[in-house]
Amino acid sequence: MRQTNEIADTVKRSLEKYFKDLDGEMPTSVYDMVIRNVERPLLEVVLDRAEGNQTIAAEMLGINRNTLRKKMLSLKIKL
């Protein structure tokens, strides 16, 4: 599970830098910001690994194919 830890560490470092760069200002909607910035590259990389096969990509992601399709539409991800 080292790779999972590497991803978590990367996110943690990015968030620490984000808060440092705010220089004391109070952020809002941090959760939504992180999800927006992580979800698109996640889907793009998995779809690439699945060679565009949405059924396989959905299985890799652990989500329903229809959910994947909705996310692709909302993020304007085209194959």
Set out the domains of the chain in order of their start, with CATH numbers: 25-79 (1.10.10.60)
For residue 5, what pLDDT is reported?
87
Output the CA–CA distances (angstroms, integers) from residue 46 to 20, 30, 36, 39, 49, in the order listed: 31, 24, 16, 11, 5
Q: pTM for the complete prediction?
A: 0.81
Instruction: Kindly report, residue by residue over 28-68, the tens digit of the pLDDT.
Output: 999 999 999 999 999 999 999 999 999 999 999 999 999 99
For residue 38, what pLDDT is reported?
94
Asked if 43 and 71 touch (Cβ cutoff 8 Å), the reply is yes
User: Encoding tokens for residue 76?
Assistant: 């304007």
C-alpha span between 75 and 48 (Å, rounded) = 16
Nearest to 18 by CA among 34, 41, 7, 4: 34
